[in-house]
Amino acid sequence: MAVTTLRARIALVLLVLAASPIVAFAAEQAEQESLWDWIVRFLVWAAGGWHGY
C-alpha cells in the first residue's frame, strides 16, 4: 500500500539500521525465523499497517 507518510519513511530507514545486525547476530535458525517474523511485522506496519489494528 501507499508509503505516503513521513512516519512510514522514517520507520523504513530505521528498519534498515535495525534489521540486518539483529538477524546477523541470531545464531539459531529458529531465532532467525522469529526475528524475521518480527521484522516482517514492522515492515507491514510501516507499509500500511492493516495488521496493526
Partner 1 sequence: MLLPAVLALLAVPPRAGGERSVSCVLSPGVRASLKHRIAVEQETWPSALAETRAGRELLRLEAAGGFRLHVRVRETPGDYAVCVIYVDAGGRVVLDGRSRFVLAYGKRRVESTEILFTDSIQERRVFSTADGPIVLTDRSTGYAKAASGGYLAIVRFPDGSLPKGRDWLPDMFVLRGGDGSDYAQS
35 binds partner 1 (CB under 8 A): no
Give 52's DSSP letter: G
Smallest gap, in angstroms, from Cβ of residue 19 to partner 1? 6
Chosen residue from 24, 31, 34, 51 binding partner 1 by CB under 8 A: 51
4 binds partner 1 (CB under 8 A): yes
Task: Choose between 18 and 28: whose C-beta lies nearer to partner 1.
Answer: 18
Residues 6+ apart with CB under 8 A from 8: 46, 47
Confirm if 11 and 42 have CB atoms less than 8 A apart: yes
